[in-house]
Structure formats: C-alpha cells, structure tokens
Structure 1
Amino acid sequence: MPATGRLQGALFTECAEWIWEQLQEDGFHIQGELVELILETERELGIHTRPLDAIAAALAEEFERRGVVARPYGIDARLIRLVLEWEDDFLGFAGIPRVES
C-alpha cells in the first residue's frame, strides 16, 4: 500500500475495489489484487504523475521484468491503461489531483 500521497488506507482500498467493479462491468474479469498491484507499483516507482500512456508502458515493462502474469487476460499496457483511466475517474470524484494521489 502506498505510504505517501492522499490515496492511501481505506480510500486506496475503495479506489481499487471501485476500479475492479468498473472493469467487471466492462467485461474484464481480472483479479482485484492486480488492480491493487498496478496502483501500488505506479507509486512505488514514483511514476503516478506521468501521462497515462507513459505509466502504462512503464508498468507493463516492470511487470514483465518481475514475471507478473494474469489470467484470463494478459497484463499489457492496454489493460493497465484502462485501470489508470478508471483511477483518474475515481480521483476526480474524490477531488484528488493525480499529482497528490
């Protein structure tokens, strides 16, 4: 879980769960832990303030390096980008700029 920024604790969990629900509704049946991993890793690497395409590409590369796999959908920059877009929506609803998250 992130140690800095405004998106932490119960709000972090709520964000990850909400994103997971949105993905489920869109037909992407992925593990909720994968959503948390994406959110945690972008903050761990300090890249969560970059443009979404840059974050998605960097995370896809990092997960490949770490050997992270997901089923039934692979984890690629496109799927990561979807998570990031839903994250932006959640942050907007919460009134938190991405740079402060």
Structure 2
Amino acid sequence: MAKRMRFLRSKYLGFGKSSERKIKGWEQEIQFLKSQIKQASDENKSLRSDSSKTPLSGNQGVRQALVKNSELIVKNEAAIKSLQAKIAKEKAKIK
C-alpha cells in the first residue's frame, strides 16, 4: 500500500522537490570530487618538485604516489562527467 501511495504521489505531484534534492546532492558531490582532484594535483606538483632534487631511481614511493594520484584524478573526472549527465537528464525530466 505504501509503495502504491509513493507511486501516486510521484505521478500526480510531479518530480518537484525530490528531483531538486537529487540535483543538489549530485552538485555537492561534483564539488567534493573537484576538491579531491585539486588536492591530488597539488600533491603531484609538490612530489614532482621534491623528486627533482633527488634521483628518480631511488624514489619508488614517489612514483607510486604520483601514479595513485593520477589515477584518482582520472577516476574523479569520469565520475564528474557521469554526474553532469545525470543532472542534465534529471533537468530534462523536470521541464
């Protein structure tokens, strides 16, 4: 019965607040992912400047950190694109 009521509410009251809430949540998630990307790229810059002072052959940990941060950046950029597509789709539903 409750399931049916939720369906009727969503059908007759439109998407309204729930879609707006979804979009706001996704936008907040995008902001968080962007901050993670900035933090990882800043860390990569500092690692590169520090590693230029010492030979790279002895810096296995630095290389691993650079790779890890680069992978995080790529993954987050893909997630941002996915969320932006979800937002566009949800906004199209509202209109």
TM-score, with length taken from structure 2: 0.32
Which has the greater radius of gyration?
A: 2
- The structure with higher relative contact order (CA 8 Å, sep 6+) is 2
